């Protein structure tokens, strides 16, 4: 089995047709991890025993003709999603030994499908970063070029899928953390509408922006996984009870008659020429399929990064205030309560997390709340209004996913502002709570993947999955070589 190219849908057919057993499938992926992940460092915890138990149970269901879409499919889980009895670190020393007594709702829904868990994959610490280099345990590398970053914060998830270490993976997306690493690693990643998937059991970064979603090789696979994990959850008050039937219902139906918006601000000088060209070539490919392109403007894009980092850092500072080393987290040392907390946070948090906490507390402090945080919230409403106006004249929006391809490891270590501005193409989707999917649309002169994002109306994931699928049927991906 070619683990780099096999899709979850194809593996489902192989399992059901008895061309391969669930244990054989799990073993092949585990073998790839054992022999090659030392080059990529995508996994923090490999659950080999758990995987084989899962596969054995799945095979009984397959033999009985009771398999569900993900029964026996080997998946990886980002390490900020709680897994009962399995270490969940958030790639932070603060939670280096944390073993949750419960699983996230999204994970529980995969368990209900009898999937196979291969392990927990690396990420930027507490999901704060765009390179997976802030991880305290596994600084993941890009499978296309191990001198480059895989993106982040779900870099471990994207790299594991790209390298053929799993059929698909779960990630989380706060400002592009599924889509950007998917772009860098040449795979497909879906950020669902805010509220479509329960966040219960997802270790919070920014609660009004975080959303769990799949990373896979195709839009079809993303739809299969979203079908499994979507739905309202009484444990998450922000989850929405919006009915759905099948997120893959528009697969193979093409884009004839659709209107695709091209916002000019997403194609400016900040975007590399090769990226801009690849995405526009994809837009013209959609025209050949019968879609029409609509020029439009989202003027608030120039303020989006500032608004995003004010909102997300403020929420992060609030969410991370619970880590004091006393109730839980790395136990600090000292002769007083204050000394223990200070030592716990000093040793437990990395530099990027500390930077976000400082920025968030500053934005929320007396005298600055109105000047910064309240204005960011006002801009959020303006961004939502501009997206609504675009969707009055178009069905989907097409943009680059990132302004560049994957950059060299260490290139932005001393310039956090440059790293933050690289999120320009993705953050507005989270601010507006919209769904978006990344898929590969080309490669640069060095063979590094270029991704494009298709943005849809709230709770209309089926349309963006169908639109991505239409392009994927015309495009021949070049998988990485390890």
| CA 188 – CA 185 distance, rounded (Å) | 9
Q: What is the mean pLDDT of residues 213-224?
A: 98
- pLDDT of residue 414 exceeding 80, the answer is no
Catalytic member of 78, 141, 191, 250: 78
Mean pLDDT for the chain overall: 97
Domain boundaries, the chain: 1-482
Confidence at residue 28, expressed as pLDDT on a 0 to 100 scale: 98
- pLDDT of residue 25 exceeding 90, the answer is yes
Q: pLDDT band at 482, cuts 50/70/90?
A: confident
Q: pLDDT band at 386, cuts 50/70/90?
A: very high
Q: Determine the number of helices (DSSP H) and then strands (DSSP E) in the chain.
A: 15, 11
pLDDT tens by residue, 27-44:
999 999 999 999 999 999
Q: What is the mean pLDDT of residues 378-387?
A: 98
| CA 115 – CA 72 distance, rounded (Å) | 5
- Secondary structure E strands in 174-291: 188-191, 211-216, 259-263
Q: What is the mean pLDDT of residues 437-455?
A: 98
pLDDT tens by residue, 219-245:
999 999 999 999 999 999 999 999 999
Q: Are 321 and 360 in contact (CB under 8 A)?
A: no
Confidence at residue 347, expressed as pLDDT on a 0 to 100 scale: 97
Q: What is the mean pLDDT of residues 456-465?
A: 98
153 is catalytic: yes
Phi then psi for 398, rounded to 5 degrees?
-115, 125
pLDDT tens by residue, 150-208:
999 999 999 999 999 999 999 999 999 999 999 999 999 999 999 999 999 999 999 99
pLDDT tens by residue, 278-330:
999 999 999 999 999 999 999 999 999 999 999 999 999 999 999 999 888 99
Tokens of 19: 């061309």
Report percent pLDDT > 70 for the chain.
100
Q: Are 56 and 192 in contact (CB under 8 A)?
A: no
Q: Are 66 and 321 in contact (CB under 8 A)?
A: no
Confidence at residue 367, expressed as pLDDT on a 0 to 100 scale: 86
- CA 368 to each of CA 292, 315, 374, 466: distance values in angstroms, whole numbers, following the listed order: 46, 15, 9, 44
3-state secondary structure of 270: coil
- pLDDT of residue 101 exceeding 80, the answer is yes
Catalytic member of 135, 177, 182, 198: 177
365 is catalytic: no
Confidence at residue 423, expressed as pLDDT on a 0 to 100 scale: 94
3-state secondary structure of 337: helix
Catalytic member of 91, 92, 153, 172: 153
- pLDDT of residue 118 exceeding 90, the answer is yes
| CA 395 – CA 393 distance, rounded (Å) | 7
Confidence at residue 412, expressed as pLDDT on a 0 to 100 scale: 85
pLDDT tens by residue, 243-281:
999 999 999 999 999 999 999 999 999 999 999 999 999
31 is catalytic: no
Q: What is the mean pLDDT of residues 445-469?
A: 98
Q: pLDDT band at 447, cuts 50/70/90?
A: very high
Confidence at residue 187, expressed as pLDDT on a 0 to 100 scale: 98
Confidence at residue 142, expressed as pLDDT on a 0 to 100 scale: 98
| CA 13 – CA 97 distance, rounded (Å) | 39
Confidence at residue 245, expressed as pLDDT on a 0 to 100 scale: 93
Architecture category of domain 1-482 in CATH: Alpha-Beta Complex (3.90)
The enclosing H or E element of 437 equals: strand 436-443
């Amino acid at each position: 089995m070619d683990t780099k190219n096999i899709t979850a849908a194809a593996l489902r057919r192989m399992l059901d047709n008895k061309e391969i057993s669930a244990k054989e499938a799990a073993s092949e992926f585990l073998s790839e991890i054992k022999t090659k992940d030392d080059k990529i460092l995508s996994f923090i915890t490999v659950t080999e025993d758990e995987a084989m138990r899962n596969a054995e149970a799945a095979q009984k269901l397959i033999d009985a003709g009771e398999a569900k879409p993900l029964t026996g499919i080997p998946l990886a889980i980002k390490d900020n999603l709680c897994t009962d009895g399995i270490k969940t670190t958030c790639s932070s020393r603060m939670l280096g030994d944390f073993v949750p007594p419960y699983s996230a709702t999204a994970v529980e829904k995969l368990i209900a499908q009898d999937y196979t868990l291969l392990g927990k994959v690396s990420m930027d610490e507490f999901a704060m970063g765009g390179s997976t280099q802030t991880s305290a345990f596994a600084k993941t590398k890009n499978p296309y070029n191990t001198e480059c970053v895989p993106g982040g914060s779900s870099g471990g998830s994207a790299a594991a899928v790209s390298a053929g270490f799993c059929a698909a993976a779960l990630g989380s997306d706060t400002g592009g953390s599924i889509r950007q690493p998917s772009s860098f690693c040449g795979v497909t990643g879906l950020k669902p509408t805010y509220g479509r998937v329960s966040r219960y059991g997802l270790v919070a970064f920014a609660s009004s922006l975080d959303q769990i979603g799949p990373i896979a090789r195709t839009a079809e696979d993303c739809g299969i996984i979203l079908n499994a994990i979507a739905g309202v959850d009484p444990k998450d008050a922000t989850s929405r009870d919006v009915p759905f039937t099948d997120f893959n219902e528009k697969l193979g139906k093409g884009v004839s008659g659709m209107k695709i918006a091209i916002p000019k601000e997403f194609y400016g000088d900040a975007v590399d020429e090769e990226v801009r060209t690849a995405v526009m070539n994809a837009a013209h490919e959609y025209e050949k399929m019968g879609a029409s392109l609509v020029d439009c403007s989202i003027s608030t894009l120039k303020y989006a990064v500032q608004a995003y980092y004010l909102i997300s850092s403020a929420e992060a500072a609030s969410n991370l205030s619970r880590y004091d080393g006393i109730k839980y987290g790395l136990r600090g040392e000292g002769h007083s309560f204050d000394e223990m907390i200070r030592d716990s946070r000093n040793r437990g948090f990395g530099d990027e997390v500390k930077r976000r906490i400082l920025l968030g507390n500053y934005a929320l402090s007396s005298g600055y709340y109105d000047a910064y945080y309240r204005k960011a919230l006002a801009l959020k409403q303006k961004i939502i209004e501009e997206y609504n106006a675009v969707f009055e004249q178009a069905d989907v929006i097409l943009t680059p996913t990132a302004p560049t391809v994957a950059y060299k490891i260490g290139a932005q270590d001393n310039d956090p502002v440059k790293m933050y501005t690289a999120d320009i193409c993705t953050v507005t989707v989270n601010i507006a709570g919209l769904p978006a999917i990344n898929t590969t649309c080309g490669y640069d002169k060095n063979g590094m993947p270029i991704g494009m994002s298709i943005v849809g109306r709230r709770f209309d994931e089926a349309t963006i999955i169908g639109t991505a699928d239409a392009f994927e049927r015309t495009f021949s991906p070049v998988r990485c070589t390890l």
